[in-house]
Amino acid sequence: MLGPVVVDLEGPRLTDRERVRLLNPLVGQVILFARNFETPEQLSQLTGEIHALRDPPLLVCVDHEGGRVQRFRPGFSAIAPMSRLGGIWDRDVLGACRAALSTGFVMAAELRSRGVDLSFAPVLDLDWERSGVIGDRALHADPRVVSMLAAHLMQGLSLAGMASCGKHFPGHGWTSADSHHEVPIDSRPLDEILRQDAAPYRWLGVSLTSVMPAHVVYPKVDERPAGFSQRWIKHVLRRDLGFTGAVYSDDLSMAGARVAGDVAARARAALAAGCDFVLVCNDPDGADQVLTELSWQPSARFEHRLARMRPRGPAPDPGGLRRDEAYQAALRDLA
């Protein structure tokens, strides 16, 4: 049995304290950062050790979108910022769709070959040219283009056996504040947000495996950030937009999450709002506090959503991947 808590690691190798933490039944996934990576071979060893700790194995996740948010670099293909795909779309629609599919395939195949099960991608935020933290991470300003390119990127992920995670619901692109450091406010009305920023979540439908809400407050909808809001998650996302996949909180250590109390209170609030999984990063003491204080019971619905996040099929062999014709063709298509 795996639990709802997603934790991180301090360095490129597991410590004894981390091994004990990962054996806690409330832990279900591990998120890696650049500090956990030295070489592709070291990454394989680390993910192998993580997977061997539990049966069924813990899921290993990463933010590996491309551009400035690509945690692993030496030995991995350089993935362009997602805005590059939007730029291609403006002059060659079909070329952009092919490049998006190939980007997702290369990303997922390379990560899976080193034991990483999930990348938190694609970014579905619109490029309003207002948010520094989003910026070139966004595919385009038009929600229709974002949806089409994201659908092809997700198809590429799926071809390599990887699930997807759309973020940051319902949209982080309008507000200029960075939720890592403060609480962003988006004062637009609900109908405007649904018509623009949240539209890709409706259009992508059941193909979207999971969603990560934004640590943004939309005061005309709810006084709480979206990741702590039953109205946003249970009513808008699930009831109105028909989303059936998993919901991950964004990192509960970010400033945008502190309005919900201490880290254990944030975890409880996120789960009560409808999140299936909660991320606690860059705060090992906070992670231990959550694991000590959180009371949680699994459900059949949770197990079903967790199962959808697992990779499908055998992971490619790193050496064989370099000789794979489909992989080589996809490399030539990268933006």
Q: What angle, rounded to 10 degrees, do the helices at 263-273 and 284-293 form?
A: 60
Torsion of the alpha carbons at 135, 221, 276 and 284, rounded to the nearest 10:
60
Q: Would you state the pLDDT for residue 180?
A: 62
Residues known to be catalytic = 180, 250
Residue 287 CB-density burial (10 A; 0-12 exposed, 13-18 middle, 19+ buried):
buried
Q: Which of 30-34, 86-90, 127-131, 242-246 has the lowest mean pLDDT?
A: 127-131
- Non-local (6+) Cβ contacts of 300 within 8 A are none
Three-class HEC string of 12-65: CCCCHHHHHHHCCCCEEEEEECHHHCCCHHHHHHHHHHHHHHCCCCCEEEECEE
Q: Would you state the pLDDT for residue 278?
A: 97
Number of domains in the chain: 1
Strands 118-119 and 217-218 come out as unpaired
Residue 163 domain boundaries: 5-333
pLDDT in tens, 305-315: 999 999 999 99
Q: Would you state the pLDDT for residue 257?
A: 60
Q: How confident is the model at residue 40 (pLDDT cuts 50, 70, 90)?
A: very high
Q: Is the sign of the CA dihedral 222, 225, 226, 227 positive or negative?
A: negative
Give the integer Cα–Cα distance in Å for 145 and 332: 23
Strands 69-70 and 64-66 come out as antiparallel
* Prediction pTM value: 0.96
Q: How confident is the model at residue 153 (pLDDT cuts 50, 70, 90)?
A: very high
Give the integer Cα–Cα distance in Å for 143 and 276: 26
Write the CATH number for 46: 3.20.20.300
